[in-house]
Structure 1
């Protein structure tokens, strides 16, 4: 079989050390061969999921009809049906990416599944659910997604301590990211004390990007000065670059170096929410401007195709930009916009959106179960 070369921007991202993950998953994507195509033709080496993605997949086509029919016939509750459907899809995706996982030495080929967002403020139940998801999917290339809320931080630590790989999601602020980095190290230290193999415990920290500009740009427009206009579309990238600076500083410290010497993997920064919200911006903005070795960029399909077609990869656009990022955030503050207040609001809003998405998924499955009709083989024969 002839393997097509990767589009130039995709190859450049790979060569720059950026892992390309797809922010999408469906049974049709898996079984129709599209995921395999994206791995070979778009350099995709990981997949992230969320409730909205699953709800959309369930509402389109007939890929889930047979399973919904079986679950309905068994009298399965909505919550259990959601658990079964999503873990089945994620397990299949893990298997589809198993070779990528092996070839990358266990770093990539990862698939993320989210803990019920309704538990974002409940540490103990988050840990309990994370363990159940990990056991049920039963694949080494799984990530459990846990939001970086105040209550999520100790859950992240405790789940990592169990030897479970974690995708920390919904990070907006540097303050919260610092807590995530600490929880990661504390979890690995506890795992090490329990005799676990640190080399098998992976983690990424998902730092959300475009939503920051989505919240700040309208405030800049209200100010209406040239100084404000100059910061439009700049703060989300600056915030992410400062997160990378914090990451780089952390992995250089003795605490992390001791863990690395014991075989621990770095918790890679992952840029999430990288599709632009403002159509006036280049559609590859949050990819081109966040290139750094050892990072992950998880893209919706539309952004991935845009990058493949016309991405402008200029090498590392992060590590030499820390000072400029600091200055941009300082200028924002001088205009009266408090970035910490914005990111705190975004976290609260993000949890609410995740909960709404989960409810949408529950409603979609409930409707699917209610509308499931018995297959001909299940129906009573005519008397």
Structure 2
């Protein structure tokens, strides 16, 4: 039975179009291309710490002005009235859900009120949330279903810092179903049971993945671990396993999506907290550690922006960075939207070749160039390979595995030019 009713007791090809500045280098795998990038959002920084992209636009919640700012590649194009909270998300139907109460550390009074804005912007509804205790959570994850649907509705999952509970909040026809709102005792697999940090994200999708949690903990922070939860025999949400996320780095942002018959997950990666991201095939394992074998599920990586001297372009973003969403457009293609507070917002196209939408990343016999830790690896067929420093010095010729010091390199394979980062 449900635990508690609240009424009774949640691969590297350089793409250089629209780089962040004249001296930054956007580098990513060959199956990722950058559609556009806009760096005008950088001054927003802490005031707009959460946002998402869809439909060639970004929606950024500005807690100082109490507005959702709507941006595209040209800049800010619109504003939607919201409130002075930070929480912003959307459901499977594209409806926007935003917290309208003042930013504070306690969920009390109007802090519990949310606004629902329909996908076509024709409906705006403000509703209170009942049964949410004192505490703080700055980010919401994806909301399952359609919160404006009159029959099934949607479900918002959330937690509260300092509380060991997940709250399951059904919203039907734009109203909370209080009688069927539940909380579950959350027992973390880490050192402290259930204490969510303010950067925790709890996401759910209809027909994609039931429940996933990114939960850094106060005394045992592990920002690289996204948990999969499942229902036990008593219909309580419990820890099931960890999603395999090679190269993961960063406490905010992840998104699960499906192309064809294959599920994927996109999440932050990189060394500077972290404006890069990686896409992997969705898979799980028992431990939260990153291992070399995890690379087998990696599909694509967009690397952190680098200056000409190889240093990071964007740093010191704390936990507010790298919000990622996906918009599937076919069985082999999806748009990836990235909002990096204090940096930029950008839209990318992911193309995964093959009839199953998964493998065959090095199709058409083209060489795939990869930069690793202290090495450059070339996979596939190439009759000519040349590796140069950015200063034009030849490092190697016709070798497919070259040991080298960290930096940026130019790799030529049969006339194709790739810029590679070696860490």
Normalization by structure 1: what TM-score?
0.30
- Pick 1 or 2: higher relative contact order, CA cutoff 8 A, min separation 6: 1
Whose strand proportion is higher, 1 or 2?
Answer: 2
Q: Quick check: which one's helix share is greater?
A: 1
